[in-house]
Amino acid sequence: MRSPFAYVPRPRPLQAASPGAAVAYLGALVAVAFLYSSPPVLFAVGFAAALAGRLAGAGGAVRSAVRLGLAIALPIVIVNVLVVDRGETVLARLGEWPLLGQVDVTAEALADGAVFGLRAVVVMIAFAVYSSCVDPDRVLRALRPLAGRSALTATLVSRLVPVAAADAGRLRDAARLRGPGAAEAGRAPLARRLLAGSLDRAVDVAATLELRGYGLGPSARRRGQRRLPRSRFDRRFHLAAALVLAAAIAGKLAGADGFDAYPTVTVGLGASTVALAALVAASGLAPLRWPPARRQPRPVAPAPAPPPRGPAAAAPPTAADVETANV
Amino acid sequence: MSRSRGTAVATALLLAALAAAGCGLGPGSGIGAVKLTVTREFGAVPMRADSVEADESDTVMRVLEGSAEISTRYGGGYVQSIDGVAEAERGGDPYDWFFYVDGVESPIGAADFSLRGGERIWWDYRDWSATNHVPAVVGSWPAPFVAGYEGREHPVAVECEGGGEACALTRRALEREGVAVATAAPDGAIRVLVGPWARVRSDPAAAQVEGGPEESGVYADFERDGGGFRLVGLDPKGEATTSFGPGAGLVAATRRYEGPPVWLVTGATPAAVRAAAGLLDPARLRDHYAVASEDGKETSLPVEAP
């Protein structure tokens, strides 16, 4: 069964864009999520990431990320509420707890934890969109000139881990197929067999890499490398990333991050916050597929005669020429 | 059906256990009034003096939040401003908010200081270029003698170091406030040292005064003057500003390490000690870090810079 976060190639702008452009775009959204604590801005980042994923055909990944993010956010909120007893509005007193002492649940700690949780959900969505829309092989190829060995290691890991998981599934199936009377195969023997198989496979991979020239020096390898082709969508994503980051920095300078949990919850809803949230939310439209522009058909001109090719073509062939050729 | 019944029973049991453990919705029941004072410049400029009804869940921070406009930093644990007066550097000197509960500097933050009712909370905005650690002040008299400090009651002992009549005056002043004064100083007692400085200075806690405000938190010093001593008032930077006469008495408070507060009722001469003992009155000590008395006139310490 395929993971909801697995990369699926689709004919969409985000998938077609070069890895650098896609990473810049999604990275800008993540950067804003870490720079800001303002709930309107965080909601806008989450909306933009979810919209981008939806437009890129990764709606399933976004839904899974929201579920996973909420599962992470809930413990964050609970821990914050139990550990932090600051804030003016005491909602409940939970008595003396071991290690924690007197636990008071305050509305402010609840709101603060909710903002932490919201950030976790938003970042999860952005990473889910990245994972399901950006080809990991292209990312690794792009990284190869910067960190060749790391890129090779990451490539091997990203390939071998799913292979090992598939091996484990096959081994389990084989154990089940021995029939109901057979002794149950424990986890330890399964893990041992899996490890042995992985080591065999690693030796094979090493031999293959050697045969394909990975043991040569970096200069020898680079001679054969080609630059990754640019996509016509790159400019769009670079522009969206630059706009989002510039607006985030300008918003910080203009005081758009108006959120204080303590002593009482205050959420800034000034013009700068609203403008930044609107721009960030609109950046989610970057992966939109624009309909191809219809071009007017050009009038068809009569085909010109082919230009003469040397003296032999100056005159039509004679009957004697044809006969000579036929001979 | 049985599963839902089991869940309901488990929920009811959990709620019953929480209720039995003293849990409940809301801030809890009332614990009585606490006094909140907000001042500036070592108590010289009053900003706010309220009596606030507190609940079980109240802390020093919550009481302040409920009474004044404040802003905080570092996750709500540090008060940055009260009623618009914010931490700052003024003329190169650092100013910040400090708080005392029952006349004792708290070892924990305001958000973590739980109240039990009856406390005197004093927030002061001051220059801390000389020291940021003033362990005890006299401005909350009769605290900490009446109900202790840091949530616990402590015995009170008057140690007469040649104070003579001043010792009796001190004892009477405490008893007027309902304080039971011990004849000896048991462990953990809040001590009041009464006597001339030449005698009192032999006590390790009192001797800190000669180390300056950074050691004792007291903005006063005793200088050698012939065969005796002379009381000197320091300014907020710890510089000697005012030299008092031989009849000047001093009431100050300090602490040695984490020990109980030690009050000093002293002066250069027996007459000065008597003058100091005469200061032990709520009206004369209110909102002062320490007080000097000379010719019936009180001078708040630190002395305002000229």
Interchain CB contact of B82 with A (< 8 Å)? no
Q: By C-alpha distance, which of B251, B244, B305 is closest to B280? A: B251
User: Do strands B120-127 and B30-40 pair parallel, antiparallel, or not at all (unpaired)?
Assistant: parallel
What whole-number distance in Å separates Cα of residue B170 and Cα of residue B156? Answer: 12
Cα-to-chain-centroid distance, residue A36: 21
Cβ-contact A147, A85 below 8 angstroms? no
C-alpha distances out from residue A128 to A37, A123, A134, B242, Å: 21, 8, 10, 71
Among candidates A86, A93, A94 on the partner chain, residue whose Cβ is nearest the Cβ of B75 = A86
The residues of chain A scoring below 70 in pLDDT are 1-2, 215-228, 291-327
**Is A295 in a helix, a strand, or coil?**
coil
Least reliable range by pLDDT among A296-305, B163-172, B213-222? A296-305
Residues of A in contact with B66 (CB under 8 A): 88
Chain B residue with minimum CA distance to A80: B75
Interchain CB contact of B20 with A (< 8 Å)? no
Q: What ipTM, to 2 d.p.?
A: 0.70
- Kindly list the domain boundaries of chain B, sorted by start residue: 30-127, 156-301
CATH code: domain B30-127 is: 2.170.130.30
pLDDT tens sequence across B15-47: 776 666 667 787 888 899 999 999 999 999 999
CB pair distance less than 8 Å for A264 and B65: yes
What is the 8-class DSSP label of residue A215? T
State the smallest CA–CA distance between residue A26 and chain B in angstroms: 29
Q: What percent of chain B has pLDDT over 90?
A: 78
Q: In what order do the strands lie in the sheet with B24-25?
A: A101-106, A90-97, B24-25
What is the 8-class DSSP label of residue A105? E
CB pair distance less than 8 Å for B62 and A91: no
Can you give the pLDDT at residue A314?
41
Evaluate if residue B218 carries a pLDDT over 50.
yes
- Kindly list the domain boundaries of chain A, sorted by start residue: 1-144+232-290, 146-224
CATH code: domain B156-301 is: 3.30.379
Dihedral Cα B32, B38, B44, B46, nearest 10 deg:
-90
Can you give the pLDDT at residue A293?
60
Q: By C-alpha distance, which of B242, B96, B265, B300 is closest to B195? A: B265
pLDDT tens sequence across B232-290: 999 999 999 999 999 999 999 999 998 999 999 999 999 999 999 999 999 999 999 99
